[in-house]
Chain A
């Protein structure tokens, strides 16, 4: 598929200028932002031409290209362009003459319209069944800034923007390998989004690539407004709460993912880079783990593991222990808990549910509101309501601590999508704990684990490196081994093997 969205069929451009103008106007449904400038050229200005562009896409003060085009045909100052004949134009541009400006030669009306809508200036000449188009797009764009969703203290700060080519450029700049393969798909009829996928040849697992290519097939028939549509399209299980692909807005993360043999998917006008496949353990790593010192990074990883366990099970464990197994709580602590729970009319389960739901409400309200108002919400919600709930004896202070700790722990998981997944799984766990105590927690945990073990991402087991267990990956799982280890034996053996094979065959005189 050509990225210009050209179609081989369709009406040709006519040799009659008026006919072209009429057809173009009709095709563009008379939109007011299409500007048509009429020109005369040739001896006595007797020949006509027009240029068409979309003024919302094109910088108004940029070249309208008529003069530049004619300039290419004569050596000197052109005056009023009286010496150029249509034959010269046809001859020069039709044979691909060297122009001052990059141009493309069009012969189909659809192409011309596509170009106009893509921000090109298209020139039509009379008595010529071709048109010339010059890229002139200039739309306002966000600057490259630090990624908001993945800030870092150390390491590169560059984040992606809403420009596909710019994003790919930033990745290409980091990965100078000739093996980096970038492919485009144009999807949809109205949006005509460009979907780009990129992978490092020989690093990517061929089975994964095959599964990916098979699944992405057919997406070009549909409108794809954002990367998440691609995610859902190629996903194994859309009903699973667990994300099967990872997003990033950092180009360094994307480049590292390529080296690991992942496939990147980018969609025009979105800064999100989809990394696929992503296994469960990927969601507990950040690029900063590799920029910090080994011991600190390892300890932080362990802390995240703790955060994961707390975020998932703390409220349900509290409910189970206080309702069903008070004998398992050390006596002094039990007395403390009983003391604070005195006079509270609700059972622990109900209390936990109310507090968790209000916390979720608070979180959702805080995200959607404009930032200055958001902080007001959190003050009102967290401080006032939290304090008031305790004073009014609706919730016990210990429950507030439990909920707050759970919230903080879920924020400590570096990837937002995994945090959301935990939010969802936490509630069935709480219900099970409220109904059946520790046994309920065990059963729901086992069912969750079963689901995770069954889940696949692009045909690869989702729990890969834990189940199936791969001892070799342990160096980069709960702890991070010194970077020397990674440098000496890279994570992606496939690429290494390929390179070694190459070197060997080069050094082998027989070959």
Chain B
């Protein structure tokens, strides 16, 4: 009995003193922002901007970069504290709690949305007769178990899974080269810039703007500042490139029609036919989608738990993982009545929320930091109080 206890304690210490390196964090960033987006994003973008969808990724990526720069700046200025932690120092405990309410709401939307993404993909495309809760509950259970294992395990595991996911996506994109028709990209900007900005609005919210959540993960990194900065930008660039590739290739294959093709990368894989043997490799994209969504859900769930733990000053942030997961599961089963509401909420309301709440919050903190002098020693004290 004593031996068992001591080993558990040992485990706890191991995860508590967890620190990950900058490459691992960059991989988590790729996992988090490429995640499910690589399969999902071409469809709404082409829906909004038709054959200029790839152009709209540029301003969206720019917005993401701005947010990333903001959180890195805050991370540096506040000596590696987390978002909630320095927000308390900057705007006070009460205002932080107020600001945290929409933040928590965002988690309660995004995690069920990701999970629903998996469930819907399987029930509409691959296994039409299986009830959706099977997929939702199993994916969420896996994500919850992963989060319980701590950030170190997550970081290690995701680094491997990123390889698999990127390999699957790039393989499909390369094998589909014979299907590409360059004329699908023309004409350029037939309806002016407006549709491009509509697309940019979606993409700025759905994968790119979400990067502000990473301000909760930055405190776990042990790396030199320059190293961290370059790795984070590199990871973000990989994400941008992958999404750009996926959107471009979908456009090159299906043209404006890809706006009405859900899971366009999956359809793209279905078009591949090389030498009669390499055909029907849609499953590869299925793997990429599950991996991406699972990783994204895990990271979200982890951040959610961190935010809750810091808000309520819990000693053990893992205690909430299962209850929170259960709530998310229930929400995922009830929140979206139909695929249409899913599309509306994810591609219209969510981008707005990310920009307004996330972007606004981070921008506010950055501005306050810029003008409010930070007395030395204060950050140390504040850190000690929350730990």
A binding-site residues for B, Cβ under 8 Å: 324-325, 327-330, 332, 436-439, 442-443, 446-447, 449-450, 453-454, 461, 463, 466-469
Contacts and interface: CB of A to CB of B under 8 A. Distances in A.
Given A328-B283, A330-B276, A443 B156 contact: no
A437 B127 contact: yes
B156 A469 contact: yes
Contacts of A437: 126-127
Given A438-B126, A450-B142, A454-B149, A327 B156 contact: no
B278 to A, nearest CB: 9
Interface of B: 23-24, 122, 126-127, 130, 134-135, 138-139, 142, 145-146, 149, 153, 155-157, 159-161, 276-277, 279-283, 286-287, 290-291, 294
B280 A327 contact: yes
Nearest to B154: A453
B283 A467 contact: no
Contact of B153 (A436, A454, A469): A454
B229 to A, nearest CB: 21
A447 B127 contact: no
A469 B24 CA distance: 9
Contacts of A329: 280
B139 A443 contact: yes
Contacts of B122: 439
A450 B160 contact: no
Nearest to A456: B14
A446 B160 contact: no
B127 A324 contact: yes
A453 B280 contact: no
Contacts of B157: 449-450, 453, 467
Given A442-B287, A466-B160, A450 B146 contact: yes
A447 B157 CA distance: 11
Contacts of A447: 142, 145
A505 B244 CA distance: 56
B138 A443 contact: yes
Nearest to B162: A469
A430 B281 CA distance: 21
A319 to B, nearest CB: 14
Contact of B156 (A328, A332, A442, A461): A461
A468 B159 CA distance: 8
A436 B134 contact: yes
A221 to B, nearest CB: 14
Contacts of B146: 450
Contact of A468 (B24, B134, B283, B287): B24
A468 B161 CA distance: 12
Contacts of B283: 325, 328, 438
B156 A453 contact: yes
Contacts of A436: 127, 130, 134, 138
A445 to B, nearest CB: 9
B130 A453 contact: no
Nearest to B273: A330
A330 B279 CA distance: 6
Give the 7 A-B residue pairs with the shortest CB-CB distance, closest first. A467-B156, A453-B157, A442-B290, A469-B159, A453-B153, A328-B280, A468-B156
Nearest to A468: B156
Contacts of B290: 439, 442
Nearest to B159: A469
A436 B136 CA distance: 13
Contacts of A325: 126, 283
Nearest to A440: B138
Nearest to A450: B146
A327 B145 CA distance: 32
A463 B145 CA distance: 18
A113 B145 CA distance: 57
Contacts of A453: 149, 153, 156-157
Contacts of A449: 157, 160-161
A325 B270 CA distance: 13
10 contacts: A325-B283, A439-B127, A449-B160, A450-B146, A450-B149, A453-B156, A453-B157, A467-B157, A469-B23, A469-B156
Most-contacted residue by chain A among B142, B157, B286 (CB, 10 A)? B157
Given A325-B283, A330-B276, A450-B145, 16 more contacts: A328-B280, A330-B280, A436-B127, A437-B126, A437-B127, A438-B286, A439-B122, A443-B142, A446-B294, A449-B157, A449-B160, A450-B153, A453-B156, A454-B149, A467-B156, A469-B23
A437 B149 CA distance: 27
A443 B146 CA distance: 12
Contacts of A438: 126, 283, 286-287
A329 B276 CA distance: 11
B86 to A, nearest CB: 29
Most-contacted residue by chain A among B138, B145, B146, B294 (CB, 10 A)? B138
Contacts of B142: 443, 446-447, 450
Nearest to B163: A469
Contacts of B139: 443
Contacts of B134: 436
A469 B145 CA distance: 21
Nearest to B121: A439
A208 B166 CA distance: 35
B149 A467 contact: no
Nearest to A463: B156
B2 to A, nearest CB: 12
A467 B139 CA distance: 22
Contacts of A468: 24, 155-156, 159
Contacts of B138: 436, 439, 443
